[in-house]
A and B are shown apart, each in its own frame.
Chain A
Amino acid sequence: MSEVGPPESDSEALLQVRDLCKYFDNESGLLAGVQLDDEFPYVSRSASDVRAVDGVSFDIKEGETLGLVGESGCGKSTLARTVLRLLEPTSGSVYFQGEDLAALSGEPLRRKRKDMQMIFQDPQSSLDPRMKVGPIVEEPMKAHGMLDEEGREARAKELLEKVGLDPQHYNRYPHAFSGGQRQRVNLARALSVNPDFIVCDEPVSALDVSIQAQVLNTMEELQEEFDLTYLFIAHDLSVIRHISDRVAVMYLGNLVELADKEELFENPKHPYTEALLDAIPVPDPRSGGRKELLSGDVPSPIDPPSGCRFRTRCPRLIQPESYDMPEDTWRNVVKFQRAVKRRAFEETDPDALRNRYFDGAVPGGDAGTLLDEALGHIERDEWDDAEGILTERFADESVCATTDPAYEVESDRSDGRHYAACHLRRDEAIAAAVDEAALDGAARPGRPEADD
């Protein structure tokens, strides 16, 4: 209770997450990470952490829905669980109603849980098949000592009706319900202790479209009626666009962009968001297809790329300052570097490769020399050396690799803030900051969401 949020945070925000990190041990057990060397001391231990959530900050205001999107494996669910303190954060803090959850433990934390609930993705496995629906809904109230037995039953029945079920179903088992109805039972259970904040982890992903719409509508009605605040996780951008007020986009443990819904969907500022929006199939045969597709796989969170984590797949990687190539040539260099890294071709003849990847416009100067060197390695079948040169001298020299991006740009379509972690936005961000006569706010790494 003595703790307060960071000085510049929004005092009205219900939840403030600051620099939250959650690392997992990659290996566990007695001999975890032990390696044998052929030199003294012969045995070494290397700890390799999976950095599932790495320095995430955001606020959720009372009564709003914050949508969280990202591909599978980007850390969405880990973030949600860490926010609720279902997982112990590695570092950082979570202020809920002004109190740091990360510092709480034991009974005070348990009591706090009354105000925060969660709904899971799978409506089947999140309900105990051997309990009737009524007792399932009553259980959280029992755990928090709410009401007496009769009162709890009355409330459970009332809640079942509120979520669109028949109170008569109090004595039924979960198997007698369809997926959509089970998700409604989950909603009733979450609501039973009268929480302020509900984390919904892919609550409608397992449901058919028509049922999905019913459940989404019910969730919106309940939000209105009970003044709920949602953190809504989904991988489906259409659902996010429908239900959210603001949207955060996550990539490999980092937030890459956060803005009001309309702003984010209509005016995305991060290349990853753009790629994600471009990739969604639109239910309209005349929509005309997508522009470009992301290539490559998401890198491992054990050893994520430095700087901007998206840079290894980014279609708009910034050219290092030490080169002065035309934009097209630089794009070709990047394409070639990625192709070599993925071993995407078998051709070893330098001229053929020059033709294929550079179409005659081979860069001159230092870049040209380095490229020739790399092509020479490929000709001699020394792929690792070629990859080394291309990666170290081109990709890793980019500002995207050397500096962590964090910019706040001006919103086009709303009054809210627009955070975009991309160096392409530097000039815009500085301009926006000058506009606000707040020069110090141009780049605030690590404090993307510092609401004034």
Chain B
Amino acid sequence: MTEPLLSVRDLKTQFFTEDGTVRAVDGISFDVYEGEIVGLVGESGAGKSVATSSILRLVDSPGEIVGGEIEFKGETIFGLEEDDAGELRPRDEMLSESEMRERIRGREIAIIFQDPMESLNPVFTVGGQLREFIEINRDLGADEAKEEAIDMLREVGIPAPESRYDEYPHQFSGGMRQRVLIAMALACEPDLIIADEPTTALDVTVEGEILEMVTELQEKYDTSFIWVTHDMSVVAEICDRVNVMYLGEIIEQAEVDDLFYDTKHPYTSALLDSMPRPDRTVDELRPIQGVMPEAINPPAGCRFHSRCPEAREVCREVHPELRDLSEEGEPVHTAACVKHDAFDVGYDESRSIETQATGGFSAGLTETGGEAE
């Protein structure tokens, strides 16, 4: 395979709070190649958004990227090395803050957020904001930038772009606003667009339109996407490869078809089983028991063992790393679950343990929130 466009290795982002260190992203690695849509899927609190902000180095205090490497087109977005005293410090070739701001964000890597209303400034016209963005990032004159902005609006399917150019965000519907943000992201023809739940707030019909449009534009511009979502249906429709996240870790990586038809991790199967289906009637849903534990103090061993229907004693002790489980000649399919033979830690001999999944709902109640008083 060719060199990946973006490569993330063992990325760790932590938040230092009064209650302790929140390990929001805890050692994730994945690649994005040119022209593909990579999904990042998980429940809320899995660390999806923190992972994407880390890629753009947008993590704010009390959060901090504490380890790992992010390479983008041969440049180092983040990387640490040890100095003489054994302290970690940023490597010399790591891009400076101003380089990130002037060269990477927006120009090379663009981001689309979930809530289009909050990403647009309500007191400026939509066209003005788009024009300003193009003017700054592409060094165009005001008139040229305006022309370009109108072209972009037309490109994303906004009718009568000349007259809508002078309208304010509140005059646009939710779907239209999201189209404007996509226009903004595409305006500088970046190599990578990070889409953070861009269709979650939209109606299904509008969501459908946007997904179709993104697929078309992606083919046309050959842009790569990281598509962050909690919705497996969207993943099935749009992604080429998928990373499933649970509690700060990636627990399964596969091509989209393999993920749905040859699921290797119990969490992924549980997630798929718990969803009601639009295309057939499911008599009884099989929910994942309990709730996701806090990232401050994640369970030892496999982090999913407390909710896993297949958990055994060994799951409490061994922390599984992602391992490639694909057969020779097949595309890479990795999963972090010791039930697979490749791990060979004695899963088969180990005894089943009582978990929330096996011990009923009430067992999970004390997991969240802690004591109120």
The residue in chain A whose Cβ has the minimal distance to the Cβ of B272 is A283
Contact yes or no, A210 B43, CB < 8 A: yes
The CA of A293 and the CA of B209, in the complex, are separated in Å by 7
In the bound complex, residues from chain B placing their C-beta under 8 Å from that of A212 are 274, 287
Residue B345 at the chain A interface, CB threshold 8 Å? no
**Interface: A142 (CB within 8 A):** no
Contacts of A275 in B (CB 8 A): 205
Beta-carbon contacts of B340-373 to A below 8 Å, as 1s and 0s?
0000000000000000000001100110111111
- B159 contacts A343, CB within 8 Å? yes
Residues of A within 8 A of B281 (CB): 241-242, 261-262, 265
Instruction: For chain B, residues 179 to 225, give those with C-beta under 8 angstroms from any C-beta of chain A.
Output: 203-209, 211-212
Q: How far is the CA of A178 from the CA of B237 in the complex (A)?
A: 30
**How distant is the Cα of A265 from the Cα of B260 in the complex, in angstroms?**
23
Q: B212 contacts which chain A residues (CB < 8 A)?
A: 290, 293
B209/A211 in contact, CB under 8 A: no
Instruction: Tell me the minimal C-beta distance from A118 to chain B in angstroms.
Output: 22
- A213 in contact with B160 given A279-B207, A293-B212 (CB within 8 Å): no
Interface hits, A305-345 → B, CB 8 Å: 342-344
Q: Is A216 an interface residue (CB 8 A)?
A: yes
Instruction: Tell whether, in the assembled complex, residue A211 and residue B276 are in contact, meaning their CB atoms are under 8 Å apart.
Output: no
B361 touches A279 (CB 8 A): no
Which of A23-31, A82-90, A92-100, A232-240 lies at the interface with chain B?
Answer: A232-240
**Residues of the B chain whose Cβ atoms lie less than 8 Å from the Cβ of A238:** 233, 275-278
How near does chain B come to A401, taking the closest CB pair, in angstroms? 22
CA distance A91 to B200 in the complex (A): 36
A359 at the interface (CB under 8 A from B): no
Q: Per-position contact with A for B267-290: 1 when CB-CB < 8 Å, else 0? A: 000111011111101101111110
CB contacts (< 8 Å) of B284 on chain A: these are 217
The residues of B that contact A211 with a CB separation of less than 8 Å are 43, 287, 291
Closest to A180 in B: B291
In the bound complex, residues from chain B placing their C-beta under 8 Å from that of A209 are: 43, 230-232, 271, 274-275
**Are B276 and A213 in contact (CB-based, < 8 A)?**
yes
Residues of chain B in range 142-160 having any CB-CB distance to chain A below 8 Å: 159-160
A180, A216, A265, A343: the one within 8 Å of B160 (CB): A343
* Nearest A residue (CB) for B238: A281
Contacts of B174 in A (CB 8 A): 72
Total count of chain A residues near the partner, CB < 8 A:
57
Q: Does A402 contact B (CB under 8 A)?
A: no
Contact of B275 (CB < 8 Å), options: A173, A283, A287: A283
B237 touches A177 (CB 8 A): no
Contacts A173-B372, A294-B205 given; does A284 touch B279 at CB 8 Å: yes
Q: Is A12 interfacial (CB 8 A cutoff)? A: no
Residues of A within 8 A of B368 (CB): 176-178, 181
Inside 8 A of B257's CB, which chain A residues have their CB? Answer: 285-286
What's the Cα separation between A276 and B206 when bound, in Å?
Answer: 10
B residues in contact with A287, CB < 8 Å: 236-237, 279
8 Å CB interface, A227-250 against B: 235-239, 241-243
> Could you tell me the distance in whole angstroms from the C-beta of A111 to the nearest C-beta in chain B?
35
Q: Which residues of A contact B287 (CB under 8 A)?
A: 210-214, 216-217
Contacts of B96 in A (CB 8 A): none
A165, CB-defined interface residue at 8 Å: yes
Q: A281-B237, A290-B208 known; A178 and B276 CB under 8 Å?
A: no
Name the residue on A nearest B215 (C-beta): A289
Also in contact, A208 and B236, with CB within 8 A (given A237-B278, A285-B256, A293-B209): no
A71 to B261, CA, bound (A): 31
A143 sits at the interface (CB 8 A): no
Please give, as numbers and ranges, the residues of chain B lying within 8 Å of A181 by CB-CB distance.
Answer: 365, 368
Which residues of chain B from 15 to 47 have any CB-CB distance to chain A below 8 Å in the complex? 43-44
| A164 sits at the interface (CB 8 A) | yes
Residue contact A283 to B204, C-beta cutoff 8 Å: no
A169 at the interface (CB under 8 A from B): yes
> Least Cβ distance of B199 to chain A in Å?
9
Please, how many angstroms separate the alpha-carbon atoms of A212 and B174 in the complex? 25
Contacts of A278 in B (CB 8 A): 208
Interface residue A175 (Cβ < 8 Å from any Cβ of B): yes
The chain B residue with its CB closest to the CB of A272 is: B205
CB A250 to nearest CB in B, in angstroms, measures 13
Bound complex: CA A289 to CA B208 (Å)? 10
* Listed A/B pairs (24) with beta-carbon separation below 8 Å: A172-B372, A176-B369, A178-B368, A213-B274, A213-B285, A214-B288, A214-B289, A217-B285, A235-B203, A235-B204, A238-B275, A238-B278, A239-B276, A242-B276, A243-B276, A276-B205, A281-B211, A285-B259, A286-B257, A287-B279, A290-B212, A293-B205, A293-B212, A344-B160
Give 8 nearest A-B pairs by CB, closest first: A213-B287, A242-B276, A210-B288, A281-B233, A176-B372, A343-B160, A176-B369, A279-B208
B residues at A contact (CB < 8 Å): 43-44, 159-160, 163, 173-175, 203-209, 211-212, 230-237, 256-257, 259-261, 270-272, 274-279, 281-282, 284-289, 291, 361-362, 365-366, 368-373
14 extra interface residue pairs, beta carbon distance < 8 Å, beyond A217-B285, A279-B205: A177-B369, A178-B291, A181-B368, A213-B274, A238-B233, A241-B278, A262-B281, A265-B278, A282-B278, A282-B279, A283-B233, A283-B272, A294-B205, A343-B159
